[in-house]
Each structure stands twice: as C-alpha cells, then as structure tokens.
Chain A
Amino acid sequence: METHSADVAIIGAGGAGLRAAIALAQSAPSLRIALISKVYPMRSHTCAAEGGAAGVIKPDDSLEHHFNDTVGGGDWLSDQDAVDYFIREAPTELLQLEHWGCPWSREADGSVAVRPFGGMKKQRTWFAADKSGFHILHTLFQTSLQFPSIQRFDEFYATDLLVEDGRCVGLTAIEMRSGQMRWFDARAVIIAGGGAGRMFPFTTNGAIKTGDGMALAYRAGVPLKDMEFVQYHPTGLPSTGTLLTEACRGEGGVLLNKNGRRFLQDYGMGPETPLGKPVLKTMELGPRDRVSQAFWHEQRKGNAIATRWGDAMLLDMRHLGEKTINERLPLVRDMSISYMGVDPVTDPVPVRPVVHYMMGGIHTDINAATSLPGLYAAGECACVSINGANRLGSNSLTELLVFGRRAAVSALEYLQQGGRPAGGAALAEAAQARVRELVQRTGGTESVAGLRKEMMQAMEEHAGIYRSGEGLAAACAKLGELRQRYRRIELHDKTNVYNTDLLQALELGSMLDCAEAVVQSAAARKESRGAHQRLDFPGRDDRQFLRHSLAAYAGEGPPRVSYRDVVITRSPPGVRDYSGGHE
C-alpha cells in the first residue's frame, strides 16, 4: 500500500481544516502537513454559509454581551469556559481573515460592517453580502496555496483512523480517482469533517455532509457529544431545502402565517416590532430553535400556507426594496427566483424549517483535543461545546476559525512532547481488507439507496423539531435494524476508478452511526431544551439534564449513552427571554 508520512494529517479541507493547516504551516515551515479531503477544498460546505460570522468589534458591543447571547441561546448547555475562549478569540480570527484579504462588506469609513442576527443583543455579524461562508472558504483556500508544506490530497475519502497503544497514529484513505487505498502515517490527526445533515431528507446541507468525520472518531472510541441537538433553520425553500439566510430577517424581513399575521408574537417573542425596523433579539430576530418551533405550532393550528411541497410560512422582504435586496441579499433573490419562481422584491417567499446544523459532534475539550491522544477535532464535526442546545446564527463560521486554529496549536504541542509508537501497518492492511471485502461482496441483499431512504424516513418522522418517547423508541429500533442490514449491502459497481457507488456506501455507514447516536441520545434525554423538544417532557430539567450526553460506540450494539457535567463559570441557568418588551 502506498504510504504518506506526515507530522499532522488533517481530514477535511473546509473552513476548519484549512484554518488548521495554515496555522500549522505558519508555526513551523518544516512540518509536513497532509490535508486530506473527499472533495476539492473549494467544494467544502463552508461555501454555502450565507449570513456571516460573529465577533465583537464595534464600540457599543462587549464580550460580555456575546457571552450571554451565546450561553442563553444555547439554553445553558454550552461550556462557559469554552464560550469565554471562543468570544475572546473571535475578533482576532476575523481580523486575521481580513488581513488575508477576505472581502468583508464595509461601512462608508472603510471599517468592516456588521449586521444583526438572531438571538444576538448587538449587531456583531461580520458579513460579505450573503456569501460570507463562500468568501471565507475561498480566502482560506487561496491563502493556503502559498504554503508549500501543506500537501493536499484532494478527493481522498478517509476510511479509518489507526489507533495503536491508545494513540492515534494515522489513517487510511481511498484515492477516488484510482480507487487505491493509501496509508497516512501521521504523528497527529485533526478531524474537520463537517456535519451530518444528510441523514435527514430535507436539509440545507450539501451531498457531502454525511458525518464521516464524526463516524471516524466514534468508531475509534471517541464519544459523540450532545448529538440529540439538531438545528432546524426556520427559512429554507420548501422545494429544495435551499437556505435563505437569517440575514433576510436581520435586514428586516418578517415571517407571516396564512392570515398575514407575524405569528412569532404569539410564541413569547413579541410584542410585534415595527415593519422594516428589526429589533435585536426579539420577533424575527429570535433564536432558530424558537422560530422553528413556532412554525410547528402554527402548522398544527392550520395557519400554514399550503404549497406543492407541503406546509410553509411566508418570508416577506418586499418592504426592504430592490436596492437593499440586491446589495445585501443578492444570492437570496437569485435562489428564490431560480428554485421557487418567486422574486422577493415583489412577493413574499414561502419557507419552512429545514435541518441545518449539528450542535453535537466529536467530544473535545476546550483545546480541541479528543479523549484519544493524538486526535483533535474542530468545526461542525466537533462539539467543544460552545453551541449548547441551540447554536446562534453566525457563531459557527467563527467557530471554524477559532477552533481550527486551536486544534493546530494543540496538535503542535502534542508533537513537541515527542515520542510516538511506531507501526500502524497491520491496522492499515486490515482497513484495506475491510473496504475490499465491501467492494467485492456478492450475495448481498440490501442496497445503499434503499437503506438510506429508510434511515431518512425514520429521522424525519421521529427526530424532527418535536419528538416523543414512543417515536424515538421506534427510531432506535429502526436504526438498530439498519445497522444490521448495512452489513448485507452489495455494491452494483465493483470497479476502481471514481466509484461513487462505493463512496455512497461508505457515507451511508457514517450517517447510520451518527443517526443512531442522535436517536439514542434523544431518547435518553427526557426533557426539552433548545433544539431538543420532547412532547412527553415539555420542560427543561436542570436537575437531571444540565449535562452533556456522550454516545460511545459499542460495536455490535447501540451506543452507550452517559453524561458529563456542563461547565458553568458565571452564568447560572436562567430563563431565555426573547420578548423585546422586557428589556
């Protein structure tokens, strides 16, 4: 098997992976960095983030505000020491990106502009029109091209982490273009593999977001933390699930039910604010979990509008005017016209909540280190946790940068401690044999597309905005069954070159692992908090559940769920208040 030796191997070349790679390259030019990604870096899903990145920069804002917004937004499930680190580093990282040439939108005086975002008390979201993630990704990717020590392995799918003597010593990956397995002999590994929204049928997530990074760590013995917290973004296009950024509402767009009522005022986010004059942290600028949940209730009341693609609400931006929409929300306009046939300048756009982001992920500490020595994780695949039970919009792009860099620093410190066990060859051979068996298997009775469909159905039905014990039990049973049946899949395509049938089979394996962690953790959490809402346990229960769930891989059986205390430093659990009138 062809072998590549590296000091640090990074899995995933989106925002977090690129940020880590650049930090490593800058710290020591002699380091050999292997940047491994199943897609070319510019295809990574960071590019689809629209609204912006949060960081305190303006004089009327303060770190304390950002801290309180984040912790309260996360329904007190965030680790407060991690949030403190995050908000302190945020402005530095966003400025660093500016110094690398990111085309941030600007004020007339040439300073960076900020915009309002949901759940934020102050305007602190840096943005580049409504393609902020795209510009961050391309700025990082292009910046990375100046460092010869970053060796890229584009379109390599990582299949296994290699763990020897309790340390992570590398990984194996398939080179898509040849179908050959490669062994990456690495002294440290950083996973930056992104989220897993594709386990749901209706998601803003691109095809590549199949939880591969999470599953790699999970199978290597690192637990997945807080997986039951799945964020629904309130405003996706009903036809395709395409995201219409929260900035639509930040700029003044409003949500209407079929009677034309701004219904959020009926769900603890009122009183109504004047049209076109958005007030921070209330009404349409409430947090995503609350807004999505409000839609669910409206739907039950029969107040949703019917579209060909199911129930929806209306996002009305007409009062913003053509100039503002073109300047600040050009992509939103383009996509509404393309995929819905509705021009937001002249008509309200039908939208509905759509799976968007995983608050949970690979359990890491505040230093982006996992419980497995030599393994680090950052970005959506990781759970530090700063996002708690509900992420605030525009915190995740910043998180990529802050913890991407942090993972690099931690990996470097680990390397400086010296020694590592030799070997990994036997493990790599075993990994290769496993994939070979999957490709060559005959007599299988299950298909990738079939299992995927059943998984999506179970997740949609039972792990959505509102959940019940009964439904989750059914989902647990279903996913256990799918785990068994997955062993009997057979590929149609048994060739080597760019075999996407194989790729999808491996991705399905990752998604099934993540999905089972989601439903098992959700079934065990008998309370409602943030994005995890139980019809049978409608209240928050701090006594029992002010704790992170940890789902640990158990091979043949379902994951074992255990708990770990939340770090509370200075903000005791309180009431999440989004009624602007109380402030």
Chain B
Amino acid sequence: MSRRPYARPITSEWIFRHPRYIRYMVREFSCLFIGGWTLLMVWGFKALSEGPAAWAAFLELLQTPASIVFHLLTLAFAAYHSVTWFNLTPKALPVQLGEEFLPDRVISGAHFAAWAAVSAGLLYFAGAF
C-alpha cells in the first residue's frame, strides 16, 4: 500500500488568515470583559450586603480612572457583541410571510429596535431622564 495521506497540522495561525476570523475572535474575546463586569457586580452586591461603609468604598472604587477605562472598554465590547449578534439574527430566525422571506434588515432592524427600547426603559428607571 503506497497511500500515505498527509494531515496538515492545525496551528492558531488561522485566526489571522482572514478578517472574518479576527472579527469572530474579537466577538468571542468580548466575553472576558462582560464576564469581568458581571463579577464586579457580584462584588458590588456583596459590598451592599456588608453595610454602608463597604458600599461607599465600592462606589469610590467605581470612580477610579482604571474602573472608568474598564467600563468604557466593556461597553464597547458589549456593543460590538450585540451589534454583530443582532446582524446575525436573520440567519437564525427567518420569517416567511406567504412565499417570500422578510428581508434580513427587517429582522435585524426589529432586534435593534427592541434593544433600543429596552435600553431606554432601563435608563428611564435608573432616572437618566
């Protein structure tokens, strides 16, 4: 038998082979910030349960430059994740009315609209306006 199929090694080089893979990895990477922010919130709850002094210290921590930078980054990553995710929704949730499918932008548009509405509602309850 002279066959000897050659299996090429898989290295992490693929990430940089095409912008689509970089965009994908950035989307995946965003979870680190979102996860970190979630842990921060858990810490905040803990501080709240420990009394006014702990809570005040926590609030002070939130106002440090490092925390502000972290929040801005998290916001950017969360926004990136959400936007790319909503752009993909037409693939996952096609809607057929009669013979035709709703155009992709209607489906992703509906998601963006819902996102905006929920965000506005939250901001309202938070007293932003």
- The residues of A with any CB-CB pair to B shorter than 8 Å are 177-180, 495-497
Closest residue of chain B to A495 (Cβ to Cβ) is B2
Contact partners of A496 in chain B: CB under 8 A: 2
Which residues on the B side are within 8 Å of A177 (C-beta)? 3
**Least Cβ–Cβ distance between B32 and chain A, in angstroms:** 43
Q: From residue B2, how far is it (CB to closest CB) to chain A in Å?
A: 5
> In angstroms, how far is the closest chain A Cβ from the Cβ of B5?
9
Contact indicator per residue, chain B 50-77, by CB within 8 Å of chain A (1) or not (0): 0000000000000000000000000000
Residue of B nearest to A178 (CB): B3
B1 close to chain A: CB less than 8 A: yes
In the complex, A277 Cα to B85 Cα: how many Å? 48
> How distant is A498 from chain B, measured CB to nearest CB, in Å?
9
Interface residues contributed by chain B, number (CB under 8 Å): 4
**Which B residue's beta carbon lies closest to that of A180?**
B1
Give 10 closest A-B pairs by Cβ, nearest first.
Answer: A496-B2, A178-B3, A497-B2, A497-B3, A177-B3, A178-B1, A178-B2, A179-B2, A495-B2, A497-B4
Distance of A496 Cα from B2 Cα, bound (Å): 7
Complex formed: what's the CA distance from A180 to B1 in Å? 8
Bound-state Cα–Cα, A178 to B2, Å: 6
**Chain A: minimal CB distance from B99 (Å):** 9
Contacts of B4 in A (CB 8 A): 497
**Whole-angstrom distance between the alpha carbons of A178 and B1 in the complex?**
7
| Chain B proximity of A105: nearest CB distance (Å) | 13
CB distance from B10 to the nearest CB of A (A): 23
A495 vs B4: C-alpha distance in the bound complex, in angstroms?
13
> A178-B3, A497-B4 known; 9 other A-B pairs, CB under 8 Å?
A177-B3, A178-B1, A178-B2, A179-B2, A180-B1, A495-B2, A496-B2, A497-B2, A497-B3
Residues 1-39 of B at the A interface (beta carbon under 8 Å): 1-4
Shortest distance between the CB of A567 and any CB in chain B (Å)? 47
A177 closest partner in B (C-beta): B3
* Nearest Cβ on chain A to B118's Cβ, whole angstroms: 38
Q: How far is the CA of A123 from the CA of B1 in the complex (A)?
A: 55
Q: Could you pull out 11 A-B pairs where Cβ atoms are within 8 angstroms?
A: A177-B3, A178-B1, A178-B2, A178-B3, A179-B2, A180-B1, A495-B2, A496-B2, A497-B2, A497-B3, A497-B4
Chain A residue at minimal CB-CB distance from B5: A177
CB B68 to nearest CB in A, in angstroms, measures 53
The residue on A at minimum CB distance from B4 is A497
Question: CA of A123 to CA of B92 in the docked complex: distance in angstroms?
Answer: 39
Distance from A537 Cβ to chain B, minimum over Cβ atoms (Å): 55
Inside 8 A of A178's CB, which chain B residues have their CB? Answer: 1-3
Q: In the bound complex, what is the Cα–Cα distance between A551 and B4 (angstroms)?
A: 44
Hey, which chain A residues are within 8 Å of B1, CB to CB?
178, 180
Chain B residues lying within 8 Å of A180, measured Cβ to Cβ, are 1
Min Cβ gap A560→B in Å is: 42
